[in-house]
Chain A
């Protein structure tokens, strides 16, 4: 009886700590992160199992050249690593400048044109990836067959189309937050438009450009939907596609190693991007972490 009253009082107390929510949040975080850590751990398993720990070894990472079963020596996985990195670098090199220029243009261009262009851009951001992948696959196999062949070129074109909206969103958010005063001051002091953009606006945009480069890199290295439809032979399949294919059969721990490699590559890109971002924006009174992810969080 008294316990019941105690519970009721605890429940009614407006100043009590939200233990239920706290437990739920920590539980969620464990649920979301621990499985990945376990998968990474099993890439160091000495045996072939993904569920029974048989001792520590680097066998699946850098194991013997003769067995060709490790990430380093399996010819299949090694070409895939190279292809992953090639696709991501090319995508960053094309998508980031395209998106940045688009964001600046759309921010200043008045009239009806920008509405249509911006709508298309946002649509490319929210359309489910499989729809874009099928559309590009059909376009490249029929209409543009003589111009674009399936393989690296088609994959890069597809990835850029899917990723170009990222820099647009991040750079536009930055443009909104810095306002037009700096540029106007430059022009009041006599700088011609081109120079005020190059010497005043661009340096202010560098953080956003860096952030979106890191985001695009991380996202394209992980991508496998668009890239899988647009690959031609198994030599053009990046790591993500290999993992996807292997995961449908009985994958050895070298697949865990491959997935962990992708994870580390992504985390390194994001960390470098974030550190650079924070360094350039130091002194600004804004939460770097929030602006970095591009969400209006």
Chain B
């Protein structure tokens, strides 16, 4: 194997031709196949690929098998692994809880479809402003700002929501402060299932995931473009609206998807900061999993969530692949 690479280099008389040949040997797919046996690189990727096949792809098949399976006499789920025997009774039963006459799952779905867009939008508005400031105006302190912006990543989500839970207690510091400055007469029970609390909790939890990608993008915009706008007589606001904002459309969409995807599966924010009155789609899944024999129900709900999320998921994967190809 090795001789194939070295031989032409050492034997070639014409130096330029040798260099050309040497380069062609180390470039491109054809030659890497000549250097390495066909199985060489795939074997590196094999263990993780196998892992994902058994512990990621296969479990999804089990979700189908359980959701479309049957139950025994005692109501215990019996998964069915042959698709031709699948029965849709649990699935349609679950669907009826959303859209049927007695639709007691519907409020949770509606809440999810209101809370998540509202929280994502708030993340975008504030996240964009902060990312813009740090990318364009923070000057020599950019490094410090970056560390502070990243720090929420290293503080567990649980800890951050738990911290707010303490502050928002009826006798917590927020209520004490509000009463002290006479904004409210009696303490407000923030944690009794207020949509505002849950939405702000979601914003608090996920906004770092919006700021960083936006910062990364805004930081890379060529300053010459902005100066050109300025030189041609546009006001700063007009430059922003006509140059910066249109350029960042891709980054905005990607950021929205990055924060919205986990919010759709979130159940813990509401568990810690809300009540059943603010339950979301994730809470439905969580309750189903935790109840005995709730497997088929949980499986059906997971499949529905996947259907809901498949378009943003694929969009995100598509856009990251494009970014990778461009890099």
Q: Give Cα A129 to B58, complex, Å.
A: 16
**A38 to B167, Cβ gap below 8 A?**
yes
- The number of A-B residue pairs with CB atoms under 8 Å apart is 293
Q: How many residues of A contact B (CB 8 A)?
A: 99
Partner of B166, one of A38, A122, A297: A38
Question: Which of A98, A104, A176 gathers the greatest number of chain B CB atoms within 10 Å?
Answer: A98
Encode A22-60 as 1/0 by CB contact (under 8 A) with B: 101100110111011011001000000111100000000
Q: How far is the CA of A263 from the CA of B156 in the complex (A)?
A: 7
Contact A222 B156 (CB under 8 A): yes
Interface size class of B (residues with CB under 8 A): 35 or more
**In the complex, B272 has a CB within 8 A of chain A:** yes
| Residues of B with C-beta under 8 A to A208 | none
Contact flags (1/0) for A117-141 with B, using CB distance below 8 Å? Answer: 1011111101111111111111101
Contact of B212 among A28, A109, A192, A297 (CB under 8 A): A297
Chain B hits for A18, CB < 8 A: 133, 137
Task: Check if B180 is an interface residue, CB within 8 A of chain A.
Answer: no
Which one of A109, A110, A259 lies within 8 Å of B158 (CB-CB)? A259
Is B193 an interface position by the 8 A CB rule?
Answer: no
**B195-230 contacts to A (CB < 8 Å):** 204, 207-208, 212-213, 215-216, 219, 230
Contact pick for B62, options A14, A32, A38, A135, CB 8 Å:
A135
Whether the pair A289, B147 counts as a contact (CB closer than 8 A) is yes
User: Which of the residues B81, B155, B166 comes within 8 Å of A50, measured between beta carbons?
Assistant: B166
Q: Known A50-B169, A121-B48, A127-B313; judge A135-B60 contact (CB<8 A).
A: yes
Q: Would you call B84 an interface residue if the criterion is a C-beta within 8 Å of the partner chain's C-beta atoms?
A: no
Bound: A122/B49 CA distance, A = 12
A63-71, A72-80, A157-165, A278-286: which lies at the interface: A157-165
Contact A187-B159, Cβ < 8 Å, known A14-B230, A136-B55: no
Q: Interface readout for A63-105 with B: 1 if CB under 8 Å, 0 if not?
A: 0000000000000000000000000000000000011011011
Q: Is the CB of B55 within 8 A of A293?
A: no
Instruction: Assess the A296–B56 pair: CB atoms within 8 A.
Output: no
Chain A min CB distance to B263 (Å) = 8
Q: Which residues of B contact A36 (CB under 8 A)?
A: 155, 159-160, 163
Which listed segment binds A: B31-39, B88-96, B241-249?
B31-39
Enumerate chain B residues within 8 angstroms of A25, measured Cβ to Cβ: 129-130, 133-134, 138, 145
The reply to whether the CB of A190 lies closer than 8 angstroms to some CB of chain B is: yes
B46 with A188: CB separation less than 8 A: no
Contacts of B176 in A (CB 8 A): 51
B285 touches A105 (CB 8 A): no
Interface centre among B6, B52, B77 (most CB of A within 10 A): B52
B9 lies within 8 A of A188 (CB):
yes
B51 at the interface (CB under 8 A from A): yes
B121 proximity list for chain A (CB < 8 A)? none
* Chain A proximity of B218: nearest CB distance (Å): 11
A108 an interface residue at 8 Å Cβ cutoff?
Answer: yes
Q: Are B29 and A110 in contact (CB under 8 A)?
A: yes
Nearest CB in chain B: distance from A163 CB, A: 11
- Complexed CA–CA distance, A184 and B306 (Å): 44
B147-176 vs A, CB cutoff 8 Å, 1 = contact: the mask equals 111111111111110111111010111001
Asked if B178 is at the interface of the complex by the 8 Å CB criterion, the answer is no
B75 contacts the other chain (Cβ, under 8 Å)?
Answer: no
Minimum CB–CB distance for B77 against chain A, Å: 7
Residue of A nearest to B283 (CB): A130
Known contacts A28-B130, A187-B26: A109-B63 contact under CB 8 Å: no
If A35-B166, A122-B317, A184-B26 are given as contacts, then 15 extra A-B residue pairs at C-beta distance below 8 Å, sorted by A number, are A21-B129, A50-B169, A105-B45, A106-B44, A114-B45, A130-B286, A157-B55, A160-B51, A160-B55, A222-B156, A225-B268, A259-B162, A262-B159, A266-B156, A293-B153
